[in-house]
Chain A
Amino acid sequence: MDDLLREFIEETNESLDVVDVELVKFEQEPNNAQILDNIFRLVHTIKGTCGFLGLPRLESLAHAAETLMGKFRDGAPVTEESVSIILKSLDRIKEIMSELEATESEPAGSDEDLIDHLDRLAGIGKYAGQGGVAAAPAAEDAVAESPAQEESAAGDSAQEEQPAEVYQVLERELKEGEVSLDDLERAFREADGPDGFDVEANAKQAAEEAVAAAAAQKRSGAKPVAKKETPKPQAKKEPEAKAAADKETKSVANQSIRVNVETLEHLMTMVSELVLTRNQLLEIVRRHEDSEFKVPLQRLSNVTVELQEGVMKTRMQPIGNAWQKLPRIVRDLANDLGKQIDLVMVGQDTELDRQVLELIKDPLTHMVRNSADHGLEMPDERVAMGKPAKGTVKLSAYHEGGHIIIDIEDDGRGLNTEKIKEKILKNELATEAELEKMTEQQINKFIFAAGFSTAEKVTNVSGRGVGMDVVRNNIEVIGGSVDLKSTAGKGSVFSIKIPLTLAIVSSLLVEASGDRFAIPQLSVVELVRVQNNSEHKIERIKDTPVLRLRNKLLPLIHLSNLLGIEEKRDEELELDDNGFIVVMQVGPQIFGVVVDAVFHTEEIVVKPMASMLRHLTLFSGNTILGDGSVIMILDPNGVAQAFGSHVGTDMSQEVEEQEKASLPEEENNKVSLLIFRAGSAEPKAVPLSLVTRLEEFEISKIEYSNGRDMVQYRGNLMPLVQVNDFVQRRTEGSQPMLVFSDAGRSMGLVVDEIVDIVDEHLDIEVSSEMPGILGTAVIKGKATEIIDVGHFLPQAFEDWFHRKELDEEALVKKLLFVDDSSFFRNMLGPVLKAAGYQVTICSSAKDGLAVLERDPGYEIIVSDIEMPEMTGFEFCEAVRRNPAIRDIPIIALSSLCTPQAIERGRQAGFNDYVAKFDRPGLIASLKEQNVELGVAA
């Protein structure tokens, strides 16, 4: 594209945006001559440039608009109609401009409709003399009709369209006199617009226009020297003003240039790399105390810092740029909706990275629309509520600790929590019970949930399918967060918190279990030093660590646990050691992450992670540190998610759940137990996972047959077994029982009462000689008998463990069972024996290896995974290493049945991986291994 044309398009688009804003302002303050002057200048510049480039359509339209505005300046009343038509004309100009940009030529078409309308309002052309301001000079008319007319009389205003002449004048005049800004101002004041029709007055006006144009250039920023359209020939007559214009043009041109954004981006990338390299060099020099590189490197470092700041600065733009279109949007909206809206903007000069600016433009626009459409009431409603008829939408931006906060505030009706509730229920985003527990603010936040829009009818303003969830996503993508506060009847405030820049993130470096991690500063609220005897100590509710922080309870998690780096078996010790708590905030959620050490903050350049690691939601990227090592960057949003999305309901419980989710290894020894009573007041317990279901049967349904009690259960007869003879058989009502099922058979264990289900560490302290009882453990502070289900199953079906399919493998196979937990040794030992194996039980992997050493003749091994000293994985690998026993199939038995664990087991060489308590699964797996063995042998 022609350079001139491109420049024209860029510049004109900028000017048009400004005119949009200014016009809306002007409509509100029709008497502000300064605003009018501004607009007039801009439109005039556009018109002049068009003439020069040979764009008649644009020119005539701009001219007609200019003429009408000239009337305003002469004192014609500023009506909504006239402003609207000027805005419409500007829209048309924009349309033509975009066409021009695409095709490099003006599109065909006519703007007669608009020009006609403009002329009518201005009272010129064929409307001369009718209404408007009766000041339609023939000369101006001539301009409108034949803008490109050759220069004739010096006073002819048409002359201002003469480019060639202009150019020369400009060149020559450049060398001339000096005119101060004051003079320029005076020129403005003197040239008060045409009050007569004579040549001189016209010339005066033209001179003023020349100045105006020059000023406009100054406003619009960069502009190379070769100005074609600006100062007009009239300058000859008003050398003073013209010289001023020249000077302006020159100085502005020298001060700024246009630079392609890509160039800046590239520069930024290179500077980022430079920073990293500098950091590396510094680290090397630090290791060699008296290096001769030290001094020059220090200089290099300083230069790099300045360079980085400089380049960052080029990318910074005032946030006002993102707001530019808003006044117009709000005005149109007000007209469409019949509302009166005042848009107040505070802090337009707040600067932020242009990349961020681009990304928040749309969310911001959407939120302002929302506030105007949903937030503000109709004028009569407002008056009825005792509010001013005119509603206010206030946008404010300010810096706060390396971030920018943007508030969108309206004084409307506030959010309709009831309606939001309905919508939540309708869309099944939460249940009624959950809503009950929530505060109003929590409910209101659901408007950020996916697929949510409370607008009852779809207006062209909002409700076009993009809701606040899109807004939230857009903001979160750039590492920001959004929050809202709403007061019914008073209005609502949306707060957006975004980082200043994306390319370089200020991060806090921390250590957990010997590894370093980076936490973006954006989400770090404060650091708390934990010491056993200081006021900040970690307390716990059950096993959930919390911290009292200024009268609030802060849920805590250790970073090592969160990341599953290390098993913190004795968490108590670990946490009570001196450590640091990084208090983080993500949206409304505040939590503490315990780390072992805190280093410094560092400006890091985020690099995306490899696709193989991208599924890890806890990390947002990685980067290279000064010492050349790679560090993982924690994603605060991911961490918050790990903490759970509902906050404030029951924090301690939540944290506990989260910890459970993230730390399955901590739950090793915890077992879900079903507690019941049978025959005595002492509680009895059985691992819940062994129980198929809990049932109550009507007494009348219990039948007596073949010497035992039975019930019809799911089309089969189910024998009932009593835990002991003391169980009270009820005579009426229903009888509770535990149903155990296996391979299509079921057994009912009759009990007195089902008490509770608890998660407890199972540690059988007193083992039992009594059949049917494994031993006694302390559960919920009470001595509880643990029932041996294996004892009761054969009572129901004598052949429970000796069924046909098992009998086929009649040979007694030697099985090695390794488990550190006495409970499992006690419980599974008999089960395995009953399954037809000759079982050797070992309480540790070491013992197991020793046994195998002595007698490699075992045909199958069943091993626990989580064991002290030597884990099941290591045990398995050790077995696989020993040629004498490497072919023995090994089944892993673990309470930790995550896909990762199973994968890990597969790698270690386990043949199968079975969940503890999954007895049928274990038996099936044993059978399978046998079959495989058979085939292999």
Chain B
Amino acid sequence: MNDHTAKDLDDENLDATIQYVTIYISDQLFGLPISRVHDVFVPESMTRVPLSRPEVAGVLNLRGRIVTAIDMRRRLGLKPLQDVENLMAIGIEFKEESYGLIIDSVGEVLDLSESSKEAVPSNLDPRWAEIAAGVHRLDNNLMVILDVDRVLGDMVEKINVAA
């Protein structure tokens, strides 16, 4: 991702730290570079979009903007959460459009050194591997770095191929 300036920078300077917003999707800890996170909101009154890809949870109104919500559990091939009351969403801008990634819950913000980042394990489920940018070993947990551009980019591409 060349347009990912933060990452380019880190390649040169491995000691740099990046701030990650941590999120939980089905008990797995993920991290999103804070620079990509525009909003954290509670998805309300979502409108389903018939015939859309199953990952598209629907569209919703976020302060006058129409946001396309992506069900991250489906995106990762996980079963949908039963308790739909307490969902959270991360607002992302991608190619000048607003998207909301629907997740289980939001954790904290962590400062992590790039040097402690490790590559994605080769035996990871391909569905996960394709949207993971790396793994951080935390004290009591592993945090998978979510590559936002691939999460959304792959979906748009697939549609274009299909169409």
Contact = CB atoms under 8 A, between A and B. Distances in A.
23 contacts: A563-B50, A564-B51, A565-B48, A610-B66, A611-B156, A612-B68, A612-B152, A615-B159, A615-B160, A615-B163, A616-B51, A619-B49, A623-B66, A624-B61, A624-B66, A628-B45, A629-B45, A629-B60, A632-B50, A632-B59, A881-B79, A899-B162, A903-B54
A616 B47 contact: no
A565 B54 CA distance: 12
Interface of A: 273, 276-277, 515-516, 563-565, 607, 610-613, 615-616, 618-619, 622-624, 627-632, 877, 880-881, 899-900, 903-904, 906-907, 909
Contacts of B97: 610-612
Contact of B68 (A277, A563, A610, A623): A610
B141 interface: no
Given A616-B51, A899-B162, A903-B54, A610 B99 contact: yes
A900 B55 CA distance: 11
A912 B68 CA distance: 30
B107 interface: no
Contacts of A610: 59, 66, 68, 97-99
Given A624-B66, A630-B60, 12 more contacts: A515-B48, A607-B66, A611-B97, A612-B53, A612-B68, A612-B152, A615-B159, A616-B52, A629-B60, A881-B79, A903-B53, A907-B77
B35 to A, nearest CB: 21
B80 to A, nearest CB: 9
Contacts of B156: 611-612
Contacts of A906: 77
Interface string B24-65: 000000000000000000000101111111101011110010
How many interface residues does chain B have, given as a range? 20 to 34
A128 B155 CA distance: 80
Given A612-B159, A615-B159, A515 B152 contact: no
Given A611-B97, A903-B54, A273 B47 contact: no
A515 B155 contact: no
Contacts of B160: 615
B133 to A, nearest CB: 21
A276 B64 CA distance: 8
Contacts of B60: 629-630
Interface string B64-101: 10101000001001010000000000000001011100
Contacts of B98: 610
Contacts of A628: 45, 61
A558 to B, nearest CB: 12
Among all A-B residue pairs, the 9 with the closest Cβ atoms:
A563-B50, A610-B68, A615-B163, A630-B47, A630-B59, A629-B45, A624-B61, A610-B97, A615-B159
A80 B95 CA distance: 59
Contacts, number: 87
Contacts of B45: 627-629
Interface in B110-163: 152, 155-156, 159-160, 162-163
A137 to B, nearest CB: 68
A145 B64 CA distance: 66
A279 to B, nearest CB: 11
A615 B160 CA distance: 8
Contacts of B152: 612
B53 to A, nearest CB: 7
A877 to B, nearest CB: 5
Contacts of A613: 49, 52, 56, 59, 68
A622 B59 contact: yes
A351 B56 CA distance: 42
A511 to B, nearest CB: 12
B82 to A, nearest CB: 12
A880 B127 CA distance: 15
Contacts of B66: 607, 610, 622-624, 630
A671 B52 CA distance: 27
Contacts of B47: 515-516, 622, 629-632
A727 B48 CA distance: 57
A564 B79 contact: no
A522 to B, nearest CB: 22
A276 B61 CA distance: 12
A355 B83 CA distance: 48
A37 B70 CA distance: 68
B154 to A, nearest CB: 11
A907 B54 contact: yes
Contacts of B56: 612-613
A909 B73 CA distance: 13
A611 B79 CA distance: 26
A366 B62 CA distance: 44
A236 B64 CA distance: 63
**Residue of B52, B97, B152 with most chain A CB atoms under a 10 A cut-off:** B52
B39 to A, nearest CB: 16
A128 B145 CA distance: 91
Contacts of A877: 79
**Residue of A612, A629, A877, A904 with most chain B CB atoms under a 10 A cut-off:** A612
**Residue of A273, A611, A630, A632 with most chain B CB atoms under a 10 A cut-off:** A630
A516 B47 CA distance: 8
Contacts of B48: 515, 565
B61 A564 contact: no
Contacts of B68: 610, 612-613
Nearest to B159: A615
A612 B155 contact: yes
A886 to B, nearest CB: 12
B50 A273 contact: no
Contacts of A623: 66
Contacts of B59: 610, 613, 622, 630, 632
Contact of B64 (A618, A624, A880, A899): A624
A416 B99 CA distance: 53
Contacts of A516: 47
A633 to B, nearest CB: 11
Contacts of A563: 50-51
A880 B79 CA distance: 9
Nearest to B80: A877
A619 to B, nearest CB: 8
B44 to A, nearest CB: 9
B95 A611 contact: yes
A909 B64 contact: no
A909 B77 contact: yes
A629 to B, nearest CB: 5
Contacts of B51: 563-564, 616, 618
Contacts of B64: 273, 276-277, 624
Contacts of A273: 64
A221 to B, nearest CB: 37
Contacts of A899: 162
A619 B52 CA distance: 11
B122 to A, nearest CB: 15
A417 to B, nearest CB: 36
A564 B51 CA distance: 7
A880 B26 CA distance: 14
Nearest to A514: B48
B45 to A, nearest CB: 5
Nearest to A559: B50
B58 to A, nearest CB: 8
A880 B99 CA distance: 29
A904 B54 contact: yes
Contacts of B159: 612, 615
A615 B77 CA distance: 23
**Residue of B54, B66, B77 with most chain A CB atoms under a 10 A cut-off:** B66
Contacts of A630: 47, 58-61, 66
Nearest to A881: B79
**Residue of B48, B61, B77, B98 with most chain A CB atoms under a 10 A cut-off:** B61
A276 B65 CA distance: 11
Contacts of A627: 45
A620 to B, nearest CB: 13
A903 B152 CA distance: 16
Nearest to A909: B77
